[in-house]
Every structure is written in C-alpha cells, then in structure tokens.
Structure 1
C-alpha cells in the first residue's frame, strides 16, 4: 500500500506539474537591469508594459528587471527612438505620429477607418505587421526592435465650445489629430495639429486647440480632458493611433537566449493585461462621460458620408506620398490582407 500510495503521489504530482502554466516556471540567468522610457503616468496604455516588467522579474527571481520611468523622465516622447539609438535606455514607448519622418512605414496602421473589428483581430494584425520588412527597416534605422503593440483602441474626439453636430461643423476647428486621422480631419475642413499627449490639456484649456482626437475612452480620462470639455463623440471610430513598445537592438541582442524566450512566453499575458485595462476603464468612464458631457452620436448617413470623403481618399493619398520611400501600395495591400485573414479566423 505504501508503494502504491507513493507511486500514486508521484503520478499525481507529475500531472499537476504538467498542468501548471509556463508562467510558474523559473528562468535562471545573469543579472540584467533595463530602463524603460515613457510619458504620462500609469494608465491603461502602460498596462502591457507593466505586466511585462512584473512577469520578467517574477519569472527570473528578480535577476532580470525593467524599471519603467514615467513622465518623460528619461526622454521626451518625440525623442524615445533617438534615446534607444544611442543606448541611453533599453526600452521605450513609441507613438508613430509624434515623429512620422522617423517611421514612415508604420503610418500605414494609422490610416482612418481600418476595419479592426475586435481585440483579437487588432492584436493578430498588428503583431504580424510588426514583422513586415518595411516596418522592421524603420526600426533598424534607430537600432530598435518592436516588441508588442499598445493595442490603442479606436479614436474619438472630445472638445469644448460649439459641438460639431454635423460634419460641416468641423470646418475651421483646430483639432489635435495625427497621421492618417489628421488627414481625415483635414478633409472635413478641420485644422489638424500633432500636440504631444501631455500638452493637450493645456492647449485645450487655453484655446490653442478646440478638440482632441484620442483613443476612446482611456486617453481622455488619463489626460483629464473631461474636466475642461463640454462634448465628445462616441461612434466616429476614426481609426487607431499606433503606439508600441520597442527595445534597443543592442540591449536585446545582449540578452541570453532564455531571457529572449521568456519575453516571448509572457507576451500573451501582457496582451491580456493590456486589453483588460482598456475594457475596465471603459466601464468606468462611459457613464461619467454621459453624465457630465454632451454625447454626439452621428447617424448612419453621416458616418457613411464621413467614410466616403475621408476614407479611401486618405489611403490613396498616403500611397502616393510614400511610394518613393518604400512599396507603400504593397504595404497597404499586405495590411488589408492581414485584416481579412484575421477576421476569418475569429
């Protein structure tokens, strides 16, 4: 009986061990300390990065650590790629439209009205596109490699003053919007500007801009825009702003293979944390927005007109402006093919 019991215990223990998630396993290696540069405070956007740092330390028993520096403590938001290129820090958040000249191919992801229909499609497409040679080449110029997308949700607008109840009301409005979203707003007659996120509150308060296009809803609350705004849109779904986490290529290359493997192993958990943060903040923010601000809901006819005048024309303009820099048409076609493939897989 004793032997049988022991054998049963061993078998049971083995079964339990096999059923434990990979995250419970410890990875041994040298002591490595990384500094990560970002802007703003802790918020939904930083959840994926924070989960990555948490799991890296946990899985290595504290031997591999990532210290996240908020509030542009290490670098201005527009200069994170520059800092990575000289090895000033080992990782950073990057938003492409802050510096479109530094990463022109990445702007394909900011084109308006791309059909990122759900979180799974968004993640799959953006992960796959990070491996595209044109996007890889953009990062190579800055001695950087892409790790994961910030999975920015679709953008809406928030502002003060006369609300743009009709599409014609946007004419002449000064709006914080970048990339293809800025081009779309310009077609509506607005005057787009690429004010960095930390400066939007002051710009809106002083009247330098009259509205800001931001990911719904976390960015509005993160930068406290509801405090000084009077209205917001809830169904324009202009498109996404591509921001992502990058690592210095030299720093990443110096990691032992087990740490590189670990970064891949924990990516699913980091994405899960990122998505959960967005979902949770929406549940909190939407009721508050509706209580305090005027919600603008455009009709199906208005949305169809918006997409007609500011969708495909912006895509065509983007191709024409970038074709001499890289195969812009081929890149856009690759993106649309990835979206179609991902949608069929959901």
Structure 2
C-alpha cells in the first residue's frame, strides 16, 4: 500500500500499531512540558500514573514530545496545581479534582462524591455518558482541558486511633479526609482536615488529627499509617470510584498538532487503565501483611452509613438549589448512577456476592 494512502486510511492508532510512528512525527516540532502532580513521588501507583503518561507520550512521539513530572511541593503546592495550569505556570497537572471543591463543589464530581459511582461506572459515565463533555464544559472556566488519568477503585475508610462503634464516635473526630467528603463528615459532627498525602503521617503521629484516610492497603502501608493508628475501617463510602485527571492548559493544548493531541489522549487512556490495574494487583497482598502485623479491621456501623447517606443526599439537593454548575452536572450524574446501580445489582453484585463467600 502506498504510504500516504496508508496513513490517511489507517489513522494514528493504526500507524502507531504498524510501527511507522517515528516517520509520521519526524516533522513535528520538539516540545517540552512540565507536569505538576499533587502526589508524593514515593507512591509509585498514584504518582506513577503521571510517569507512565509521560513515558507513553515520549514513546509515541519518537522522543519529540517530552514531559517532566514533578511531585507535589516541587514546583508548587500539592493543592496549587489548578492555579498553576489555569495561569499557564505549567502546561499540565495530575491531580484529584475533588481537592478543589473550595473553588466550586462541581470539581468533586470529576473525581468522587460520597455514595457516587464506582470506578467502572465512572469510566462509563465519562466515556459513553455525558461526563467528559459536562466536566470539560465546566473546566473550561479555568482554562483547562481534562483527560481521565486513573482510578484507585473503591477505597478503604481510613485509620483511627479508636474504632468507630457508632455514630456518636464521629462527634468531634479530627479526621483527615480528601476533598469534598469533608462536607458530609462535618454534618455528622466530625472536624474534617484537608491535608496533602505527604503530611498525613506526621499529623497522625503528633496527634494533630485523630484519624486519616488516604487510598487503600498498598499506599497506606508504604506511608506507615498502621504504626500510629491501628484500626482500619471499610468501606470508604465517600470514594467508591475516585477518578484522577490530567488537567491541560487550554492554550498549550490548542497549540498542539492533531497528532500530538491524539498522543496525549492515547497516553492518558493508557495511564487511566494502568493505574487501577496496579492497585487491584497490589492491594490484596498489602492487606494481608497489614492484618498479620496487627492491623484491626472494622466495618463502619450501620448507623454511620445510613446517616452519611442521608446527609449526602440532602447536601446534593441544597447544592442544586444554589450552584448552577453543580445542578447541571449532578442532574445527569444522578440519573446515570441510578441506571448503573439497577444493572450492577443483578450482574456484578450478584456474581461478586456469591464468589466472595466461596473458599478458593
């Protein structure tokens, strides 16, 4: 087949698969971007998603498109990356959108809200529902083009000096909880703290906080939370499927060629899948090691779960009355969630419920 015809008909994906990408991108300009992460470099899973993305961009561009990755605090504070991208200080960030609910609560729906979508449902909403379209319309106000950039899967419910035995134990609890969930914890009588991942251990150790959640066994073990708070809760009702995002400055993205834009999209999609695969593969062994080392697992009591659900639904109703951005996105999100839960109830949940009761 004549080369020009092949490129035109096969498209970028076919060209890359055929191994002809270097010739295709040879004429492209060399580009160097900086990526600011919200996460510490020690976490190979969540910070590693940014490194995976950058490597794929380099590989697919024949080394012409280079992105350097920087952990939280190196170029800017972990919670300063939206401002950094919005202002063009960096071209791209990798973060959890719900960290920025203080700017607008709608950010949280790009990541996770209490009793929201699980990871597969979140990806479905983004890719086949209206999620990506709606969130990009919202992020455009901040000069951002977003790309799904990973998911942890359902998280654990955090580390506690004393186990939570009833709703009364939530009263006055100084709890490090990521992003938007703090609004619900506060309505339950707790005192939420929004602390970057790299600072949680010291806060627990010093007694500045009574409890903290991060992600799950693999990361939590690396961060050593079990050494200072032995009681480990589940499930993380506020993070059933938290999505990470790559936030790209709209001007920087608009300046890319069509080929480079396709490479960014493909690399982000790869990192998105790769990140959860790593968590799903690494969490089981880490949980076994934690329990063997003395970690005490406990399930949130029913009254905590029911109260948290009630407060969450009331909060979403209140936000829909006062925040037009939230109202627009949540109307679609909540409809999609209801349909997904109806389906998962019969297929996924039915299968999982049986299999997890078996001795394999």
The answer to whether the superposition gives a TM-score over 0.5 is yes
CA contact (8 A) 2:114 2:239 kept: yes
* Distance across 2 between alignment mates of 1:55 and 1:259: 12
Query: How far did 1:267 drift?
Result: 3.8
* Counterpart position of 1:77: 78
The more displaced of 31-40 and 325-334 is 325-334
* Distance across 1 between alignment mates of 2:230 and 2:57: 42
* Counterpart position of 2:314: 316
- Confirm or deny that 1:227 pairs with 2:206: no
The more displaced of 65-74 and 230-239 is 230-239
- Confirm or deny that 1:66 pairs with 2:64: no
* Distance across 2 between alignment mates of 1:93 and 1:19: 28
* Distance across 1 between alignment mates of 2:236 and 2:82: 31
Structure-2 change in CA distance of 1:115 and 1:89 (3 Å): closer
CA contact (8 A) 1:159 1:229 kept: yes
CA contact (8 A) 1:34 1:65 kept: yes
- Confirm or deny that 1:155 pairs with 2:150: no
Q: Structure 1 unaligned runs (5+)? A: 1-17
CA contact (8 A) 1:125 1:342 kept: no
Q: Structure 1 residue aligned with 2:113, among 111, 114, 119? A: 111
Segments ≥4 residues shifted beyond 6 Å: 18-21
- The number of aligned residues is 323
* Distance across 1 between alignment mates of 2:77 and 2:66: 23
Query: How far did 1:318 drift?
Result: 3.0
CA contact (8 A) 1:171 1:189 kept: yes
Cα deviation 1:69-105 (Å, max 9, x = unaligned): 1242111112111111222111112333433232421
Partner SS state of residue 183, structure 2: helix
- Confirm or deny that 1:212 pairs with 2:212: yes
The more displaced of 276-285 and 260-269 is 260-269
Q: Structure 2 unaligned runs (5+)? A: 1-12, 349-360
Query: How far did 1:326 drift?
Result: 1.2
* Counterpart position of 1:22: 17
* Counterpart position of 1:188: 188
* Distance across 2 between alignment mates of 1:160 and 1:77: 24
Structure-2 change in CA distance of 1:20 and 1:221 (3 Å): farther
* Counterpart position of 2:358: none
Structure-2 change in CA distance of 1:45 and 1:317 (3 Å): same
Cα deviation 1:301-321 (Å, max 9, x = unaligned): x33x33321114323223313
* Distance across 1 between alignment mates of 2:53 and 2:170: 40
* Distance across 2 between alignment mates of 1:342 and 1:79: 34
Query: How far did 1:199 drift?
Result: 1.5
**1:40-59 paired onto structure 2 within 5 Å:** 40-41=40-41, 42-59=43-60
Partner SS state of residue 34, structure 2: strand
- Confirm or deny that 1:131 pairs with 2:132: yes
Query: How far did 1:327 drift?
Result: 4.9
Structure-2 change in CA distance of 1:258 and 1:62 (3 Å): same
Higher Cα radius of gyration: 1
* Counterpart position of 2:6: none
* Distance across 1 between alignment mates of 2:139 and 2:18: 29
* Distance across 2 between alignment mates of 1:333 and 1:280: 34
